[in-house]
């Protein structure tokens, strides 16, 4: 897993340019997520993180000045991973031989699946990291990430010009995106037991498809 350049210098003391450094950062993130998931934020210390990760606290301080700096870096990293996967998916759709052959529900389902995995589920420690990011979210940073998602999806819809995938106006896109992310935020924080089920995904797909259908009917 390559860490993004968005982990900026004002958050990190040392940039992870080598593979060993990247693995160290991943270990810090994983240890932080696991400790918070079991013990909560209040009991977390940099000493605990370092011990859980398997190295000295001095090594941790080479990269982060505090646990708050770790939280911010984790949040940026998690959001960057989702945005990168969304970008990759939408770009692949735009490069398809004939965008008009795209099935609307298939298009929306893949988009929803990426969001579920990126904001609520995830493999290994990612689920715990997602929960921690929501728990300690910075509203401005979250809003900025959602806005990037909205802008990229809007550009894709404009490019496709698909009769069953209309371009939503600013208000419609706001409601749709916040409804989706609000559900995923609650599912993650509340540890909703069915968020990895087909039914959960189906309901979110229906939510987005319903917005698109209403927009077509009102056109």
Per-residue pLDDT of 184-219, as tens digits, reads 999 998 989 999 899 999 999 999 998 877 666 665
What is residue 215's predicted lDDT score, i.e. its pLDDT? 66
**Would you mind telling me the total number of residues written for the chain in this entry?**
219
Q: What is the pLDDT of residues 162-185, one digit of tens each?
A: 888 888 889 989 999 999 999 999
| Cα(5)–Cα(80) distance, integer angstroms | 9
Query: Taking the model in full, what pTM does it have?
Result: 0.80
**Closest-CA residue to 207 (of 175, 160, 162):** 175
**Given pLDDT bands bounded at 50, 70 and 90, which one contains residue 111?**
very high
| Cα(139)–Cα(128) distance, integer angstroms | 19
70-218 folds as Tetracycline Repressor; domain 2 (1.10.357)
Contact 63, 8 (CB under 8 A): no
């Amino acid at each position: 897993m390559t860490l993004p350049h968005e982990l900026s210098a004002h958050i990190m003391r040392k940039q992870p340019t080598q593979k060993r450094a990247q693995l160290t950062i991943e270990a810090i993130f994983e240890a932080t997520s696991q400790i918070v998931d079991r013990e909560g934020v209040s009991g977390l210390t940099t000493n605990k993180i370092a011990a859980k990760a398997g190295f000295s606290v001095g090594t941790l301080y080479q990269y982060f000045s505090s646990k708050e700096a770790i939280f911010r870096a984790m949040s940026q990293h998690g959001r960057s991973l989702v945005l990168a996967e969304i970008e990759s998916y939408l770009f692949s759709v735009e490069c398809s031989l004939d965008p008009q052959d795209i099935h609307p529900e298939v298009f929306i389902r893949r988009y929803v699946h990426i969001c579920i995995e990126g904001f609520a589920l995830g493999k290994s420690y990612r689920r715990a990291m997602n929960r921690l990011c929501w728990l300690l979210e910075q509203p401005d940073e979250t809003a900025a990430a959602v806005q990037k998602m909205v802008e990229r999806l809007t550009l894709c819809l404009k490019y496709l010009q698909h009769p069953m995938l209309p371009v939503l106006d600013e208000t419609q896109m706001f409601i749709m995106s916040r409804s989706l992310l609000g559900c995923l935020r609650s599912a993650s924080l509340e540890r909703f037991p069915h968020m990895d089920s087909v039914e959960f995904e189906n309901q979110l797909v229906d939510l987005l498809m319903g917005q698109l259908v209403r927009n077509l009917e009102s056109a």
